[in-house]
Amino acid sequence: MNKETFEKFNHGELRLPNQVIEFQQIPWSKHPVFEGVELKHIITSKDTNGEYSYHLVRIAPNKSILDHIHETQLETHEVIAGKGTCINDGSELIYEPGIISIMPANVHHAVNAGEEGLYLFAKFFPALC
């Protein structure tokens, strides 16, 4: 796994015209529902007037984000490191670095990390939190 690439994101920055957000200053938080899943909330609803949110997602080896939907958010995943699968609207997609997947609102989806774990950059429109 190219965990080195993920660590560059983990210690990266969001650069805006009037602000720089250093990712290393943002704590990891455990997902409130799914065991082995952690989130780093890069930019949230309060920063974007609810328009969008960006999150780094770290899924431990052989752990999953089980089937769910977002009623109002379009969600995207960009796979940074690791391997796994995503069930997106009933289709199984292979997740590996360089893959991007889109889940429109009200589409069932789940993500399963492989033996190396899985590292994603997730975006939500409008913001998830």
As a whole-number percent, the residues of the chain with pLDDT over 90 amount to: 91
Instruction: Please count the structural domains in the chain.
Output: 1
pTM exceeds 0.85 for this model: yes
What average pLDDT does this structure show over 28-43?
A: 96
Mean pLDDT for the stretch of residues 71-95: 97
Q: What proportion of the chain, given as a percentage, has pLDDT over 70?
A: 98
Domain span at residue 100 reads: 3-125
Q: Give the number of other Cβ atoms within 10 Å of residue 60's Cβ.
A: 13
Please report, for the domain that includes residue 10, its CATH number: 2.60.120.10
Place of tokens 């974007």: 48
Say which amino acid occupies 19.
Q
| Vertex 123: Cα angle to 119 and 124 (nearest 5) | 140
